[in-house]
Amino acid sequence: MANSLGKTANPPRMRDFGNSTHEESNDTHSRILRAAGPVFAARGYSGATVREICSSAEVNVASVGYHFGDKLGLYRQVIHDLRVARAKRFPAPNTDRQQPEETLHALVHTLLSRMLTVEESAWETELLMREMQNPTPIFESIVEDFFRPLFDQLLETLRLLVKEELPDHQLQHLAFSTVGQCLYYRVGAEAIRVLIPESERQLHYEIGSLSQHITTVMLAACKNVSRLPAPRENRD
């Protein structure tokens, strides 16, 4: 009988860590959580093995069962912690009292930072990308809590930037154009590595100039788009 729906073994029943994070603690519970993230990110949920996680955490294999019920329970906890950690690290930029041009640039910069940050927590982005391609039941809540706020902010900023009033779907397309350009430097990173020689990549592919470029593209688009003619009837 697989669980992960609360009922772990009888004894432990998920201790209540009043101190929210496990960042610094060094007990088995925290060690597993710290080790699991990078492994899940590197190998995917099903590719990751409990043994590798526990080996990396220097902990017995049975500990996962004891502390998290099963592998899926551990994964859920990792995703949960990831969400609160990132909401803290990449707060949506403060948009009030700002020219919409600046706001757009700030939003693009935030997006690119979330995508391309390669520091100690690159595994977080990797994990979210895996959820996008292989969505689990957790995915929808990730979109709502994590993507939607920035998406809405982007929509409102673009609404201020276009000269005439546009129907919703055209604004949405502009928003997706923005997000898509940012996302590509992560999704297509391996392709870019093949297409562009390393020397040029190191010069012109850091967050600063990329966000500058993308902002320029979108500002030009906003100034030029106009209400499109009604799309031809599509029948299917």
Binding to a second copy by CB under 8 A, coded x per residue (else -) over 166-205, reads: --xxx-xxx-xx-xxxxxxx-xx-xxx-xxx---x--xx-
Q: Does 20 sit near a second copy (CB under 8 A)?
A: no
Binding to a second copy by CB under 8 A, coded x per residue (else -) over 41-60, reads: ---x-xx-------------
Task: List Cα–Cα distances, 234 to 79, 136, 200, 228, 230, in angstroms.
Answer: 40, 32, 44, 16, 11
Q: Classify burial at 91, counting beta carbons within 10 Å of its beta carbon; exposed 0-12, middle 13-18, buried 19 or more.
A: exposed
Judge contact between 62 and 74, C-beta under 8 A: no
Structure tokens at 26: 């060094």
* Residue 185 interacting partner from a second copy, DNA, none (CB closer than 5 to 8 Å by kind): a second copy
For the chain, the farthest-separated pair of C-alpha atoms sits apart, in whole angstroms, at 66
Residue with tokens 């982007």: 154
Judge contact between 57 and 68, C-beta under 8 A: no
Residues 49-68 that bind DNA (CB under 7 A): 49-52, 59-67
Return residues touching DNA (CB under 7 A).
1-4, 9, 11-12, 15, 27-29, 48-52, 59-67, 70-72
Return residues touching a second copy (CB under 8 A).
44, 46-47, 129-130, 132-135, 139-140, 143-144, 147-148, 151, 168-170, 172-174, 176-177, 179-185, 187-188, 190-192, 194-196, 200, 203-204, 206, 208-210, 212-214, 216-221, 223-225, 228, 231-232, 234
